[in-house]
């Protein structure tokens, strides 16, 4: 190839190469020729050679040797060379290279050039690769151009100012006055740049945000002009007037109206107008509507406007475009907690999306469907969810079986042995136990359903653990044989103990599961009358168990039988007796045990013992407690703040409670804080009452 080969011939030669090796040879020869011409002092084809080098760079080959040529060409008086030089600077230079500092003075000179196109080149380059030092040096020049009379320059200066604010946040105050004045411009390009700049300023400085809230009426007027304007060929896109500017204004209004009642009120009417007048048959109209919905849901909007926004998302669910359906469900999921009833109106459409072929749409539909389960729709929703569970892909089965949702849904999913199986996650057990505890009206239904599940299959460890805990807490509800939500069944004391003994003796039961069953057996000793000796016998057997955890539980329970057996049937002392072996389940932690030793009628020592049976270590573990003012609380130093995985070590802490007035102690609050896998967690548990710690002296 000759040294004067044109760019198009070089491209043709590269494209005609049959192998990568042949292509590499063509490029190496051409790069050698370009280097040779760069060394010549009088080179009339500099822009031509640099253009070829930029094409080589686009193909991924080294082109760094052209950096200094870019610097020289930027300083050229010729526009043709300057244009290629600036293009090369944007492609070959960045702020980490010293060569970028060499063009600072050239950019400053070109920002004052009489030719608007030369100014434009300098602005684009600074906005593309300007370093923090360059931004500080040239910020005043950009502020000057923001006030220029040329709209072509002002819109590019606004976007350049955005880059400067991102690089040096402190310079935002410099551009704020000029940015506000740009909102009076008629040119859409200038308005677009101004809105982007104001958005950047407001997101980075709370004080600036307060100042720009005063511009809400101006933005509303601009937006109204776009909505009701007649056809304009320069700005029309599929029947929508300048949708790009509309979207930018809506995003800025969302920032200005967030957590501000006055600003939100000023834009409510506009948002309703946009929501009702925008054409939703075209993608561009849907883009504007989606931004409108996000703004409505993020500001302090009226309730009727929020319902309108949710209905728009409901229409999106019927769209043939899967991308639109996906973003609709993502948005609905964010607001289902605050606008639950409005989202419920679209439950049928959401459930239909479970049948979608797209995996991401199906996953979003599942998450939203689980969030919509309530007592009023449990029966219909369960049919749909179980049908989905029987045919859903494996990666979604765990999510469907372990979602932390309404107690009805959790029970059905866990007792559906053919579907959930081993896909239930470890944290499901404490999550479900916490849900059952907090839903007192469903205790009878829950214990009946889980007892039947226990009789059917004890291979699912998560299910068995929850069932054992529930039977230990609410076993007396089984003995009554009455439950409105479940079919009536007659269960005897022996039946319950037989079920728990089956779990204890099964080879499928893990040590943790046996611990649940043993504790449940012990708890039942306060609620049954004819089988206390059998319970004592069961507990005694495990006093010599090879598993240390199970052995410790059995020994402690045997001690309770010997020392506090006289308290078993004292009505007011039942809860106190059970408090000795109470276990509080905290999400992610496996369990938190509470053991009490009554010193006197007005004194009680509580030992808090925490263990971690998950697969990840826990650090920064702390326990805090709070009691009523009538009770004095003294917490001693804990044994540590680190809980290794798999329960290999424990943390204990002593709490001394003094009750000088001998009043009934109620509402002990425990707060657990810890870090796991780099994330901080906190959970609060309430102990409702201490029947044995009162004026009665029990």
Angle, CA of 237, 239 and 240, to the nearest 5°: 65
- pTM for this prediction: 0.60
Give the number of other CB atoms < 10 A from CB of residue 188.
19
Ranges of residues in the chain whose predicted pLDDT is under 50: 1-2, 402-405, 417-422, 570-587, 589-590, 691-698
**Number of H helices and number of E strands within the chain?**
32, 10
Report d(CA 565, CA 483) in Å as an integer.
Answer: 31
CB neighbour class for 76 (10 Å; exposed up to 12, middle 13-18, buried from 19): middle
- Would the CA dihedral through 12, 17, 18, 20 be positive or negative? negative
Lookup: tokens for 145 = 């151009």
**Residue-level pLDDT at 688:** 57
How many Å is the Cα radius of gyration of the chain?
A: 36
Domains of the chain, by residue range, sit at 440-567, 592-687
Q: What is the CATH architecture of 592-687? A: Sandwich (2.60)
Tokens 């920002």 correspond to what residue? 111
**Residue-level pLDDT at 556:** 84
CA 343 from chain centre, in angstroms, equals 20
Which among 126, 128, 146, 145 has a CA at the least distance from the CA of 136?
126
**Residue-level pLDDT at 602:** 65
Report d(CA 252, CA 380) in Å as an integer.
Answer: 42
Which among 434, 446, 455, 444 has a CA at the least distance from the CA of 408?
446
CA 484 from chain centre, in angstroms, equals 38
């Amino acid at each position: 190839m000759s040294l004067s080969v044109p760019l198009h011939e070089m491209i043709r030669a590269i494209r005609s190469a049959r192998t990568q090796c042949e292509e590499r040879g063509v490029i190496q020869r051409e790069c050698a020729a370009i280097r040779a011409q760069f060394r010549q002092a009088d080179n009339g084809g500099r822009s031509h050679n640099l253009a070829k080098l930029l094409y080589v760079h686009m193909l991924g080959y080294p082109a760094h040797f052209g950096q200094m040529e870019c610097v020289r060409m930027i300083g050229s008086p010729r526009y043709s060379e300057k244009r290629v030089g600036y293009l090369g600077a944007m492609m070959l230079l960045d702020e980490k290279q010293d060569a970028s500092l060499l063009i600072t003075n050239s950019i400053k000179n070109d920002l004052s050039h009489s030719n608007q196109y030369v100014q434009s080149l300098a602005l684009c380059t600074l906005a593309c690769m300007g370093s923090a030092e360059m931004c500080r040096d040239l910020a005043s020049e950009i502020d000057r151009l923001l006030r220029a009379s040329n709209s072509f320059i002002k819109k590019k200066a606004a976007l350049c100012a955005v880059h400067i604010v991102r690089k040096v946040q402190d310079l935002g105050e410099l551009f704020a006055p000029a940015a506000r004045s740009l909102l009076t411009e008629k040119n859409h390009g200038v308005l677009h740049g101004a809105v982007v700049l104001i958005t950047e300023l407001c997101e980075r400085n709370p004080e600036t945000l307060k100042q720009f809230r005063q511009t809400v009426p101006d933005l509303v007027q601009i937006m109204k002009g776009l909505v009701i304007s007649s056809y304009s060929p320069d700005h029309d896109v599929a029947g929508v007037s300048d949708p790009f500017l509309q979207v930018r204004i809506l995003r800025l209004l969302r920032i200005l109206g967030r957590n501000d009642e006055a600003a939100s009120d000023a834009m409510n009417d506009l948002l309703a107008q946009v929501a009702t007048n925008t054409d939703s048959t075209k993608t561009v109209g849907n883009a504007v509507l989606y931004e409108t919905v996000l703004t409505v849901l993020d500001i302090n909007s009226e309730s009727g406007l929020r319902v309108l926004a949710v209905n728009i998302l409901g229409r999106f669910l019927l769209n043939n475009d899967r991308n639109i359906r996906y973003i609709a469900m993502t948005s609905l999921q964010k607001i289902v907690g605050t606008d639950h009833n409005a989202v419920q109106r679209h439950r049928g459409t959401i459930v239909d999306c479970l049948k979608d072929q797209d995996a991401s749409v199906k996953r979003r539909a599942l998450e939203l469907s689980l969030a919509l389960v309530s007592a009023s729709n449990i029966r219909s929703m369960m049919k749909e969810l179980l049908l989905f569970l029987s045919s859903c892909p494996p990666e979604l089965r765990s999510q469907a079986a372990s979602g932390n949702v309404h107690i009805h849904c959790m029970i059905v999913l866990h007792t559906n042995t053919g579907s959930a199986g081993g896909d239930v996650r470890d944290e499901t057990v404490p999550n479900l136990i916490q849900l059952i505890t907090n839903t007192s009206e469903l205790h009878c239904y829950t214990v009946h359903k889980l007892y039947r599940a226990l009789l059917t299959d004890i291979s699912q460890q998560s299910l068995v653990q929850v069932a054992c805990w529930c039977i230990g807490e609410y076993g007396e509800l089984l003995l009554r044989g009455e439950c409105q939500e479940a079919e009536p069944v007659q269960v005897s004391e022996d039946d319950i103990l037989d079920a728990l003994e089956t779990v204890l003796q099964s080879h499928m039961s893990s040590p943790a599961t046996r611990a649940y069953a043993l504790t449940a057996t012990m708890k039942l000793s306060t609620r049954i009358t004819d089988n206390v000796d059998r319970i004592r016998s069961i507990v005694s057997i495990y006093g010599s168990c090879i598993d240390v955890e199970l052995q410790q539980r059995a020994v402690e329970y045997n001690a309770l039988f010997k020392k506090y057996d006289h308290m078993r049937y004292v009505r007011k002392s039942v809860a106190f007796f059970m408090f000795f072996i109470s276990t509080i389940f905290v999400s992610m932690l496996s369990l938190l045990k509470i053991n009490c030793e009554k010193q006197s009628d007005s004194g009680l020592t509580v030992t808090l013992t925490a263990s971690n049976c998950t697969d990840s270590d826990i650090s920064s573990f702390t326990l805090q407690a709070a009691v009523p003012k009538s009770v004095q609380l003294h917490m001693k130093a804990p044994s540590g703040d680190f809980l290794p995985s798999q329960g290999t070590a424990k943390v204990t802490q002593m709490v001394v409670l003094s009750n000088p007035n001998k009043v009934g102690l109620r509402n002990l609050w425990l707060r657990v804080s810890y870090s796991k896998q780099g994330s901080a967690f906190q959970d609060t548990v309430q102990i409702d009452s201490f029947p044995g710690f009162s004026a009665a002296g029990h």
